[in-house]
Structure 1
Amino acid sequence: MAGRSFIGSSRRLSALVVVVGLLALSDVVAASNVVAGLEGERGEVAVPTWLFLITGGAVIAASAMLSMLMTDRKFIRAYHDWSRRPSIPRGDTLLAVVGTVGALLSGLALVLVVYTGFTGPQLGSASFAVLFVFVGIRSGLTMVAYLFGNPWPAINPWRRVAELVPNGFAEYPGVGRWPAVVALLALIWIEIVAPVTEAPAVLAWGVVGYTIYTLTGAILFSPEDWFRQADPISLWFRFYGAVGPFQRGDAGWELRSPGARLGETDLVTDLSGVAFVILLVWELTYSGFIVTAPGVTTVETLVGAGVPPVVSYLLLLVGGYALFLAAYSIASRRARQRAETYLSDRYLALRFAPPLLGIAAGYHLAHYFNFFVALSPSLWTAVASPLSPPPPAAFTQVVLPAWADLLEVGCVLVGHILAIWVAHATSFELFPGRLQAIRSQFPFIAVMVLYTMVSLWLLSLPTTEAVYVQA
Structure 2
Amino acid sequence: MKPKRLSPLYKALPLLLPAQADAHASEQGLVLLLPTDVYTGAGVAAVAATVVLLAFAPAGLMTRLFATVRLWRARPGLLPVLTSCLSFLFLLVVVTAGFLGPRDPLANPLPLTVWTIFWIGMVTVQGLLGDVWRWVNPWSGPLAVLHRAFGAWPVYRVRGAWPGALTFLAFMGFLLADPAPSDPDRLAALVSVYWLATFVASCIFGPRWLRRGEGLTLSLTAFARLGMFGRRGGRMRAGLPGWQIATRGAGPGLALISVLLLGCGSFDGVNETFWWLTRLGLNPLEFPGRSFIVVQNLLGLVLANLLLVAVLALTLWPGLRLARSDMSLMRAFALFAPSMLPIALGYHVAHYLTSFMVDGQYALVALSDPFLTGADLLGLGQFYVSTGFFNTTDTVRRIFLTQAGAVVAGHVLAVLVAHAIAIRAFGSHRRAALSQAPLAAFMIAYTLFGLWLLSSPRF
Structure 2-normalised TM-score?
Answer: 0.83
- For residues 319 and 53 of structure 1, what CA distance do their matches in structure 2 show? 28
1:327 and 2:308 equivalent? no
2:348 is aligned with 1:364: yes
Given candidates 207, 222, 226, the residue that maps to 1:243 is 226
Which letter does structure 2 place at the counterpart of 1:162? L
**Is the 1:103–1:160 Cα contact (8 Å) retained in structure 2?**
yes
What corresponds to 1:76 in structure 2? Answer: 62
In the superposition, relative to structure 1, how do residues 111 and 262 fare at CA in structure 2: closer, same or farther (>3 Å)? same
2:437 to 435, 439, 442: 442
User: Deviation of residue 85 (structure 1)?
Assistant: 0.5
Cross-structure match for 1:456: 451
Report deviation, 1:34: 6.5
Determine whether 1:64 maps to 2:52: yes
SS at match of 1:125: coil
Structure 2 unpaired stretches of 5+: 1-16, 283-290, 376-381, 390-394
Counterpart contact for 1:38–1:125, Cα < 8 Å = no
| Residue 414 of structure 2: aligned partner | 419
Q: Which residue of 2 aligns with 1:289?
A: 270
Cα distance between partner residues in 1 of 2:145 and 2:50: 51
- Following the alignment from structure 1 to structure 2, what is the Cα–Cα distance between the partners of residues 34 and 181? 27
Query: How many Å separate the matches in 2 of 1:414 and 1:243?
Result: 13
- Taking the aligned partners of 2:103 and 2:272, their CA distance within structure 1 comes to 24
Distance 1:216 1:395, change over 3 A: farther
* SS, match of residue 325 in structure 2: coil
Match of 2:339 among 340, 355, 367: 355
| 1:432 and 2:416 are equivalent in the alignment | no
For residues 173 and 96 of structure 1, the distance between their equivalents in structure 2, rounded to whole angstroms, comes to 26
With 246-255 and 415-424 compared, the bigger mean Cα shift is at 246-255
Which moves more between the two structures, 117-126 or 291-300? 291-300
Query: For residue 124 of structure 2, what is the aligned residue in structure 1?
Result: 143
Deviation (angstroms), 1:144: 1.0
What is aligned with 1:105? 86
Which residue is equivalent to 2:385?
396
Match of 2:156 in 1: 171
User: Structure 1 residues 349, 261: CA separation in 2 closer, same or farther (over 3 Å shift)?
Assistant: same
Match of 2:251 among 263, 269, 274: 269
Cα gap change, 1:59 to 1:334, in 2 (>3 Å)? closer
Amino acid at match of 2:206: S
Give CA deviations for 1:181-218 in whole Å, capped at 9, x if unaligned: 11111111112232444411111011012112211211
- Pick closer, same or farther for the CA change 1:438–1:32 going to 2, 3 Å: farther
> 2:217 corresponds to which residue?
234
> Any conservation in 2 of the 1:135–1:372 contact (CA below 8 Å)?
yes
Q: Which amino acid aligns with 1:461?
A: S
Distance 2:205 2:83 in 1: 25
Q: What is the deviation of 1:379? A: 1.5
Alpha-carbon shift at residue 121 of structure 1 (Å): 0.8
Using the alignment, how far apart are the partners of 1:206 and 1:452 within structure 2? 35
Is 2:358–2:386's contact at 8 Å kept on the other side of the alignment? yes
- Aligned-partner residue type, residue 193 of structure 1: A
Q: 1:47 aligns with which of 32, 35, 40?
A: 35
Q: Please give the alpha-carbon distance, in whole angstroms, between the structure 2 residues aligned to 1:133 and 1:283.
A: 17
Note closer, same or farther for the CA distance 1:397–1:128 as it changes in structure 2 (3 Å cut).
farther
Distance 1:205 1:300, change over 3 A: farther
Deviation of residue 103 (structure 1)?
1.6
Paired letter, 1:410: G
**Where do 5+ consecutive residues of structure 1 fail to align?**
1-30, 302-306, 465-471
Counterpart for residue 98 of structure 2: 117
Secondary structure in structure 1 of the residue aligned to 2:238: strand
Secondary structure, in 3 states, of the residue corresponding to 1:354? Answer: helix
* Corresponding position: 1:221 with 2:205: yes
Distance in 2 between residues matched to 1:35 and 1:366, nearest whole Å: 19
User: Using the alignment, how far apart are the partners of 2:232 and 2:194 within structure 1?
Assistant: 30
* Distance in structure 1 (CA, Å) of the matches to 2:241 and 2:447: 20
* Structure 2 Cα separation of the partners of residues 148 and 445 of structure 1: 26
Distance 1:186 1:254 in 2: 34
Contact 1:362/1:413 (<8 A) preserved: yes
TM-score, length-scaled by structure 1: 0.81
The aligned length equals 419
Letter in 2 for 1:189: G
Distance 2:36 2:446 in 1: 25
Residues 158 and 209 in structure 2, CA contact (< 8 A), matched pair in contact too:
no
Tell me what 1:11 maps to: none
Distance 1:53 1:290 in 2: 24
Equivalent-residue separation in structure 2 for 1:139 and 1:376 (angstroms)? 10
Question: CA contact under 8 A between 2:23 and 2:115: conserved in structure 1?
Answer: no
CA deviation after TM superposition for structure 1 residue 364, in Å: 1.0
Q: After TM superposition, give the deviation of residue 453 of structure 1 in Å.
A: 3.2
Q: Deviations over 1:245-291 (max 9, x none)?
A: 1112232322122211112444x312x43221111001121111111
Structure 2 CA distance for aligned equivalents of residues 119 and 144 of structure 1: 30
Q: CA deviation at 1:52?
A: 6.9
**Which amino acid in structure 2 is aligned with residue 181 of structure 1?**
A
Identical aligned residues as a percent: 26
Partner of 1:188: 172
AA of the residue aligned to 2:170: A
Q: What letter matches 1:258 in structure 2?
A: P
Given the superposition, is the C-alpha separation of residues 234 and 33 from structure 1 closer, same or farther in structure 2, using an over 3 Å criterion? Answer: farther
2:287 paired residue number = none
RMSD: 3.0
- Cα deviation for residue 412 of structure 1 reads 0.3
Residue 124 of structure 1: SS of its match in structure 2? coil
Question: SS in structure 2 opposite 1:248?
Answer: strand
